[in-house]
Chain A
Amino acid sequence: MATVTRTRPPAPARPTPAGRRPTIASARRRLGLLYASPMALLVVVLFVVPLVLMVWMSFNHWPLLGASSPNGVENYSALQDPFFLRAVMFTLKYTAVTTVVLGLVAFGLALLVQETRPGVGVYRTALFLPSVVGLASTSLLFYGLFNTEASPLNELVRWLGLGSVDWLGSTDNALGSAVGMITWRFAGFYMLILMTGLQSIDPLLYEAARADGANRWQIMWRVTLPLLRPTLALTMVLSLTGSLLAFDQFFILTGGRHETATVVISVYREAFLSQDLGRAAAVSVAILFVLILVNGAQMRLIRRADR
């Protein structure tokens, strides 16, 4: 390839260095730079620069309006704010419950629909369909279901003779309602990932296990789960990261009331209600730091499971 030269009209203004004619390889290098440049520009301007700016902002007093001034690590005192600490605790609790509930439901669904047989495609699509509805739309939909005025859910509960339930009326109720809603929204999404993992397990291994006299329970624990570990780890990374950054569901369902503010809601409050962007940036830097640690640990877990 590299030896093939392409004839092109000589460039009169700029003679090529060392008398070498431009080869295809060098033309390709230039073309590569040209083609990659729009993406590189987007990455640098909208990702690298804001990342650096965020760290810089965290060391400055930075009001929403007006001039900024350096103030050292003062913004990081936001991490000791009782409101923020409560948000951290609530977010951790929510993340733990969601990850367990969602994981179990999705795994159950994946076991149900993993085999290719007549009719299974319809079930897969029906179970997955909530995943294409936006999280904000989902929250507004369930706000209609969880309200105390016109909710069919409450009519059902009353019909069952359980009195009336205030689905969003307390921190615990709101937590449970949100977990139920998130499970509805994401179970099909994780089901699809887990299904792909299940289908990639060699059927010969199951046959061998059965030939050795293993029962279904033993096959689950000794064959399926160990081989599914990388996929399970992937869904856990997604679920943990997603729930730690929860915003839409609580912002819309409860407005962050009765101690249901999440970590990201507290960043939003610092930035746009307290109008202190420096403190918001400091909290963001801390969140990012923790998430990179969490992700790093999980990646190692996945890689170990892959071996």
Chain B
Amino acid sequence: MSRARTAGFHITGSALAVLFLLPMLWTLYSSVHGRRAADGGPGWGVDNYERLADYGTGLGTYLLNTVVVAGVAVVVTVVTTTLGGYALARLRFPGHNLLFLVTLAILMVPYTTILVPLYILLGWIGLQNSLVGLGLVLAMFQLPFGLFMMRSSFEALPRELEEAALIDGCTPGSALWRVLLRGVLPGIVTVGLFSFLAAWNEFVAPLIFLTDGAKFTLPVALFNLQSGSLGSVDFEALQAGVVTSALPCVVVFLLLQRHYVRGFTSGALKG
């Protein structure tokens, strides 16, 4: 590789990287450099965040709601697909093929197409306008990826590992807890990460299922901030909101980047 080509690569690469990071940097900047500058004040400060904290039932409530929804989604996705993945990989049970096919069929049915009947159904089982109900729905849409990931994680473990555990006196049940879980931990982290990002960022489902303003998640609350107020939009508070909702995703991604990319290259992904 010639020196000129290397330089060209780095110039193109840095220019594109800056172009892609610029909108995020602008949001970060305008969230801490807002109205006070227009009023002739010092310019820097957290007053945009302060106004956002006072909006509606309060930023704290919206954050907590979002944490609850994402938490339910992650726990339910991880637990059900770990147990289900183990069952499908190692425990032959009646109907295992049917369950696998029906779960994969969720991929063929984009979630926005069944939101209307889900809305009715959640009403019937008393989970309408409920953060737990929303979390369960979001977990359900993560099942195909999670199941695929966990089933292949268990299949990748050597059978001898489980046999050794059985000979040492484990039942198939306790072998899972004592021996196998450690081996599939990377898969569990990947499934949890995908589930977290999807649930944290979801917009349409909470928009439809949550009718009580005090239960709004961050994306819906911010949408209301943008569209709800008459007259002028508080752009700076809005950008503070964008930072608040994007930052956890960026941090979690940077910490677990390796797992995310592995989830990608395993060939099982969902747009």
Q: Are B116 and A119 in contact (CB under 8 A)?
A: no
Interfacial chain B residues near A247, Cβ < 8 Å: 112, 203-204
Report whether A46 and B121 are in contact in the complex, using a CB–CB cutoff of 8 Å: yes
User: Of A84-92, A203-211, A215-223, A285-293, which stretch is located at the interface?
Assistant: A285-293
Question: Roughly how many angstroms separate A31 CA and B87 CA in the complex, as a whole number?
Answer: 8
A79 at the A/B interface (Cβ < 8 Å)?
no
Residue-wise, chain B 212-238 has the 8 Å CB interface mask toward A (1 for contact) of 000000010011001100001101001
Residue numbers in B under 8 Å from A255 (CB-CB)? 227
Cβ-defined contact, A281 with B116, below 8 A: yes
Q: How many residues of A contact B (CB 8 A)?
A: 86
Q: A36-B87, A193-B264, A288-B109 are in contact. Are A28 and B121 (CB under 8 A)?
A: no
Stretch binding the partner chain, chosen from A12-20, A129-137, A158-166, A170-178:
A129-137
Contact B16 A127 (CB under 8 A): yes
Cβ–Cβ < 8 Å partners of B238 in chain A = 140, 143-144
Mostly, the A contact residues are helix
Say whether B245 contacts A134, CB under 8 Å: yes
Pick from B21, B88, B227: contact of A126, CB under 8 Å: B21
Stretch at the interface among B39-47, B52-60, B73-81, B183-191: B73-81
A116 smallest CB distance to B (angstroms): 12
Contacts of A184 on B, CB cut-off 8 Å? Answer: 20, 23
Q: How far is the CA of A165 from the CA of B91 in the complex (A)?
A: 62
What residue in chain B is nearest A105 (Cβ atoms)? B16
Pair A281/B83 contact, Cβ less than 8 Å: no
Contact A119 B80 (CB under 8 A): no
Q: Which residues of B have CB within 8 Å of A248?
A: 203-204
On chain A, the residues within 8 Å of B114 by CB distance are 47, 50-51, 54, 284, 288
Residue B158 is within 8 A (CB to CB) of chain A in the complex:
no
CB of B153 within 8 Å of the partner chain? no
The smallest beta-carbon distance between A52 and chain B, in angstroms, is 8
Residue B63 lies at the interface, judged by CB distance under 8 Å to chain A: no
Complex CA distance for A192 and B84, rounded to whole angstroms: 29
Asked whether A35 and B140 contact (CB < 8 A) given A109-B16, A126-B21, the answer is: no
Identify which of A51, A137, A188 contacts B245 (C-beta below 8 A).
A137
Question: Using a CB-CB cutoff of 8 Å, which residues 254-271 of chain B contact chain A?
Answer: 254, 257, 261, 264-265, 269, 271
Chain B interface residue number, banded: 35 or more
Contact present for A28 and B17 (CB under 8 Å): no
Scan residues 246-288 of chain A and give those whose CB is less than 8 A from a CB of chain B. 247-248, 252, 255, 264, 267-268, 271-272, 277, 280-281, 284, 287-288
- Taking a contact as CB atoms closer than 8 A, the residue among A25, A31, A57 that contacts B116 in the complex is A57
**Chain A 27-44 interface mask (CB, 8 Å, partner B; 1/0):** 111111101101110110
Complex CA–CA separation, A111 to B21 (angstroms):
20
Q: Would you call B4 an interface residue if the criterion is a C-beta within 8 Å of the partner chain's C-beta atoms?
A: no
Interface of B is mostly: helix
> Any chain B CB within 8 A of the CB of A242?
yes
Q: Distance (Å) between the CB of B251 and the closest chain A CB?
A: 10
Q: Is A297 an interface residue (CB 8 A)?
A: no
Q: Could you tell me which residues of chain A, from 94 to 153, have a CB within 8 Å of some CB in chain B?
A: 109, 112-113, 117, 119-120, 122-123, 125-127, 129-130, 132-137, 140-145, 147, 149-150, 152
Interfacial chain B residues near A35, Cβ < 8 Å: 83-84, 86-87, 91
Residues of A within 8 A of B26 (CB): 145, 152
- Tell me which residues across on chain A come within 8 A of B202, comparing CB atoms: 134
B-chain residues with CB within 8 Å of residue A284 when the two chains form the complex: 113-114, 116
Give min CB distance, B224 to chain A, whole Å: 11
Instruction: Tell me, yes or no, whether A73 is within 8 Å of chain B by CB.
Output: no
Q: Is the CB of A134 within 8 A of B112?
A: no
For A271, give the chain B residue with the smallest CB separation.
B116
CA distance A196 to B219 in the complex (A): 32
Please give, as numbers and ranges, the residues of chain A lying within 8 Å of B128 by CB-CB distance: none
Q: How far is the CB of B188 from chain A (nearest CB, A)?
A: 15
Given contacts A140-B238, A248-B203, contact A129 B116 (CB under 8 A): no
**A227 in the interface (beta carbon within 8 A):** no
Chain B interfacial positions (CB closer than 8 Å to A): 1, 6, 9-10, 12-14, 16-17, 20-21, 23-24, 26-27, 30, 76, 79-81, 83-84, 86-88, 90-94, 96, 99, 102-103, 105-106, 108-110, 112-114, 116-121, 125, 136-137, 139-140, 143, 147, 163, 166, 171-173, 197, 200-204, 208, 219, 222-223, 226-227, 232-233, 235, 238-239, 241-242, 245-246, 249-250, 252-254, 257, 261, 264-265, 269, 271
Q: A135-B201, A247-B204 are in contact. List 8 more A-B contacts (CB 8 A).
A: A28-B93, A31-B91, A31-B173, A39-B143, A112-B12, A123-B17, A125-B254, A288-B109
Question: 18 A-B residue contacts at CB 8 Å?
Answer: A27-B171, A32-B91, A40-B84, A47-B102, A47-B114, A47-B140, A53-B121, A127-B16, A127-B20, A134-B197, A135-B201, A150-B235, A188-B20, A247-B203, A287-B113, A288-B110, A288-B113, A295-B108
